[in-house]
Amino acid sequence: MTLQGSLRLALIWTSLLAIVIYAIAAESLAVAALGVPSAWLCWWAAHQAWAASVPRLLVNAVLLVAVGLGLGLASLDGQFNVERIAEMLAALLVIKLFDRRTARDAAEVLALSVFLVFGAILTSLKLSVGVLVLMFCPLLVWAALVQQVVATEERAEAYMERIGAVRRRVRSGNAMSRGLRRMTGGLTIAASLIATAVFVLVPRGLTPSFLGEFGAERGSVTGFTDQVQLGRAGLISESQEKVLDLRVTDADGGNLGGAGRVYYLRGAVLDAYEDGNWTRQRRRSEAFQPRETDQNLRLVLSLNTPRAVIVQDIALRQPPSRGSMMFAVQQPFQWEFGEPLEFTLDRRGGTLRLDDNAKTQSYRVYSGLPGTLGPPRDWRTAANPGRLPSFPSEYVREETVKLLEAQGINADRVRRSPTEINAVTRAIKDHLLTFDYTLDILRAQGDPIEWFLSEDGRQGHCEYFAAAMTAMCRSVGVNARVVTGYVAVEYNDASTQYTVRESNAHAWVEVEHAPGQWRTHDPTPPADFDRVHAPDTSLASMARRWFDALEFFWVDSVVSFDRGSQRRVLGGEEDDAEPQIAALNSIAGFLNRVRQSGWVGAAQAVLAGVMAFVGVLIIMFVAQSFFRRLGIGGVRGPRVRILGGTRDVGEYLLRVLDKAGHPKPGWKPLLAHVRDVPDAGVFSDVVARLYAARFGGRPLSAAEAQELRRTVTEAGQNLGSRTPAATGDG
């Protein structure tokens, strides 16, 4: 195949892959269905004879129209829209595939492909996009290398054409193809290593959004809502779309996750009820405080470090937008983010609402185990003993009183001890366990909680159970609130993390057992909870879990890499503004120490550097010899597989001929070459045997190899004595 043929292939593969990457990122079947066949058709048409007669002016006019249309559509949105621009780029790419006549056109096609991939990256960061981008890189490198060689040839050809000389195009030999493939591999690896270093070292969080927002629209976290509206869909979602990944460890990094271990990730705390809706009570404005991360990107809610800590590393699948709730296990006392952010803190609920558009998607939360955050306060010394919680429904109160009295529990609205509260909550939970769980959306006549507790109701989903329990507790003076969020139940052994999906959205109850000490209660029947939330255990789901683990790795290490991750990777001091500055400081410190230690220290440092350099050279030399021995690089002539582990006779023969002044030209077959040297008969016999070993399936034995070597040595000595001067090169 000629180099031009290779370039044509490289172009179509690069273009098709770029279109596919963008189609996957934008989840646009239309782009894939239209773009891929069109690109292939234009590519095919471009090297038909009639294509050359299409005026270039016409093609350029079509390109201009496409650019105009694309920019016009993009401007209709009123802001810079990546998707519109990317679609325009895809159209330009398809047209340019038809209009590729020179290496410069090929370079434009490659550039458009790269821009389209950038568009895909700005649109989505999902794993499939990342994997395809990784595949795209070596393909792009290969295409660029071939393009460079072709461009050089075309420049020379253009000159020849200008002066009226004729130049024939040469086929790209195996050496060229093999060399370009190796170069592609080497450059891809080298560039990837540098890219990884840049990826890790480039400071994050510096002046984000200074050019405005032009990425894909941010997706809100779905499945979860920060209010409960009974009788509507609310948290009910059967979507398997992943929302976040959670890794739970203790303070020492020990894994606290495991199959069957459930973590409740709180999102919103709701304590105000009206017309079937649970919302956050906003009457007391002092309960909500604007807060922002400190210089260490932390948000510290409590200076008391609990005795037992749950560390949660949360990686959201989509960047959170303004108004998003930040999820955490109960009693969070410290948050760490990857960038400076502003929040609204609900002091009583202990929840955080984001007041920014975040760029990073991961954060770490430290929560204390219940009862470990500060000393317990006496329930008799409540701050406001005169006010007991209530619920504005007489029916609910009557039902609760009836229930408690039937179990011999005092049903008066009085201040209770934790033990009494335990008894009340257990009684209510046990009562609700007899209700039926259903995911059907039930629309009640009148108040939904009253309907749920009535004989006609007694069925509903988690919101009903949580709302009913909260209402019943409050009706008898026990402080309770509805909490919405996610339950982490799907533990992945491969990645030691939980995958949380939209279908894991849930509502539960927190009851105040002592002043300021809230405990989680889930009134949803456990069997139904498992039915709804338990992970699938089929074979397919096991495979999916491996994929999830991979996806988690992708999200955790690539997508959500931020300043916090940088610190962890680079090991910078906590109080340093930037780890890179710390690295520079350490280099400066090293140089200072060398300077202070005088010329002896400097000499030692130089010597160490030289030794390291020499060491690297030796390793490279040994590696090269090893690869040459394996026949991977720099072997001329036939490769011979020799039994007995002796040296390669073919190479030895070439060296002997080389020394005797008869180097083999690259283009000449070995047999033809030895026929042209003196003593051709002896050498021809040796080469014939080597050919038989190489191509005839009759490998050399060790003895035969030795014999051949001896023959070659003797013939070489005779040849050398006849040849006055051994000169020249291959």
Residues 99-118 that bind other proteins (CB under 8 A): 107, 111, 114, 118
Residues 274 to 293 in contact with other proteins, rule: CB under 8 A: none
Distance of alpha carbon 244 from alpha carbon 326, whole angstroms: 11
What's CA 712's distance to the chain center, in Å?
A: 59
Cβ pair 327, 307 in contact under 8 A:
no
Residues within window 119-178 making contact with other proteins, judged by CB under 8 A:
121-122, 125, 129-130, 133, 137, 141, 144-145, 147-149, 151-153, 155-157, 159-160, 162-165, 167, 170, 172, 175-176
Q: In angstroms, give the least distance from the CB of 155 to other proteins.
A: 6
Question: Residue 240 Cβ, how far from other proteins at the closest point, in Å?
Answer: 24
Closer residue to other proteins (CB): 108 or 226 = 108
Q: Return the number of the residue (132 or 466) whose C-beta is nearest other proteins.
A: 132
Sites for other proteins among residues 541-580 (CB under 8 A)? 558-562
Q: Which of 218, 348, 359, 519 binds other proteins (CB under 8 A)?
A: 359
Which C-beta is closer to other proteins: that of 114 or that of 388?
114
Beta strand 459-460 with 436-437 is parallel
Q: State the burial class of residue 671 (Cβ atoms within 10 Å of its Cβ: 0-12, 13-18, 19+).
A: middle
> Nearer to other proteins by C-beta: 358 or 466?
358
33, 61, 65, 183: which one contacts other proteins (CB under 8 A)? Answer: 183
> Considering the complex, what minimum distance in angstroms separates the CB of residue 695 from other proteins?
23
Q: Closer to other proteins by CB, 148 or 520: give it.
A: 148
Residue from 312, 360, 497, 646 binding other proteins (CB under 8 A)? 360
**Cβ of residue 154: shortest distance to other proteins, in angstroms?**
8
* Nearest CB to other proteins, comparing residues 301 and 570: 570
Restricted to residues 653-712, the positions that interact with other proteins (CB under 8 A) are 666
Closest of 421, 407, 456 to residue 435, by C-alpha: 456
Q: Considering the complex, what minimum distance in angstroms separates the CB of residue 191 from other proteins?
A: 3
Q: Which of 197, 233, 543, 611 forms a contact with other proteins (CB under 8 A)?
A: 197
Q: Is 539 in the site for other proteins (CB under 8 A)?
A: no
| Minimum separation from the CB atom of position 511 to other proteins (A) | 41
The pair of structure tokens assigned to 492 is 């992945």
Considering the complex, state which of residue 213 and residue 398 has its C-beta at the smaller distance from other proteins: 213
Q: How far apart are CA 422 and CA 473, in angstroms?
A: 11
Q: Figure out which of the listed residues 190, 527, 603, 611 binds other proteins, where binding follows CB under 8 A.
A: 190
CB atoms within 10 A of CB 558: 13
CA atoms within 13 Å, Cβ hemisphere of 296: 14
Output the smallest distance, CB 145 to other proteins, in A.
5
Instruction: Name which of 194 and 581 has its Cβ closer to other proteins.
Output: 194
In the stretch 203-222, what mask flags binding to other proteins with x, by CB under 8 A?
A: -xxxxxxxxx-xx-------
Whole-number minimum distance, CB 120 to other proteins, in Å? 9
User: Whose Cβ is closer to other proteins: residue 167's or residue 261's?
Assistant: 167
> For residue 197, what are the contacts with CB-CB under 8 A and spacing of at least 6?
none
Contacts of 486 (CB under 8 A, 6+ apart): 223, 224, 243, 244, 264, 265, 267, 327, 500, 504, 505, 506
Q: Where are the alpha helices (DSSP H) in 578-633?
A: 579-596, 598-629
Q: How many residues bind other proteins (CB under 8 A)?
A: 74
The Cα–Cα gap between 150 and 15 comes to 18
Binders of other proteins in range 621-640 (CB under 8 A) = 624, 634
- C-alpha count within 13 angstroms, C-beta hemisphere, residue 532: 26
Supply 623's token pair.
Answer: 């590696």
| C-beta of 154 vs 226, nearer to other proteins | 154
Q: Which is nearer to other proteins, 61 or 619 (CB)?
A: 619
454/695 Cα distance (integer angstroms): 89
Cβ–Cβ under 8 Å, residues 334 and 365: yes
Q: Closest approach of Cβ 138 to other proteins, in Å? A: 11
Give residues with Cβ within 8 angstroms of 505, minimum separation 6.
Answer: 223, 224, 225, 235, 236, 237, 484, 485, 486
Restricted to residues 322-351, the positions that interact with other proteins (CB under 8 A) are 339
Q: For the packed helices 649-659 and 702-722, what is the interaxial angle rounded to 10 degrees?
A: 10
DSSP character for 560? Answer: T
**30 near other proteins, rule: CB under 8 A:** no
Give strand pairing partners of 277.
229, 274
Report the nearest approach of other proteins to the CB of residue 438 (Å): 42
Instruction: Please report, as residue ranges, which positions from 475 to 504 form the binding site for other proteins (by CB under 8 A).
Output: none
Mask: binding to other proteins, 248-267, rule CB under 8 A, as x and -? --------------------
CA-nearest of 236, 314, 228, 323 to 269 is: 228
Sign of CA dihedral 245, 241, 463, 269: positive
Nearest to 45 by CA among 7, 12, 20, 16: 12
Please pick, from the candidates 41, 45, 193, 606, the single residue that binds other proteins as defined by CB under 8 A.
Answer: 193
Report the nearest approach of other proteins to the CB of residue 360 (Å).
7
Angle between helices 3-26 and 82-98 (to 10 degrees): 160
Supply the minimum distance, in Å, between the C-beta of residue 184 and other proteins. Answer: 9
Query: E strands along 435-474, which residues?
Result: 436-437, 459-460
